[in-house]
Structure 1
């Protein structure tokens, strides 16, 4: 079984398709911000919404 994070976008949906063709079972986690649940044609889909914390990179401080 393969877990695909962000599997409803262009790259994730094609990766899901490839793994399915190769005989793997897939599980897709996505928050649907940049993708569509209709793109998950193989495997199981779970809508996962995680809280976003603000992140500051010390190398690019203003």
Structure 2
């Protein structure tokens, strides 16, 4: 996944005032595991990107737009 995608996820999550714990719950993982994905230290799968997009009320396409 593109590093910019991780930055967009974090930026949007913070803008919407959603916590790492909230996002981790939506992806059925620990907050620590989610944090590593958002930081770009672990890959985000297509399925996970779809869940992230849903939790943030956007489409996965949003993360690829410039």
With normalisation by structure 1, the TM-score equals 0.31
User: Whose strand fraction is larger, Structure 1's or Structure 2's?
Assistant: 1
Greater Rg by CA: 1
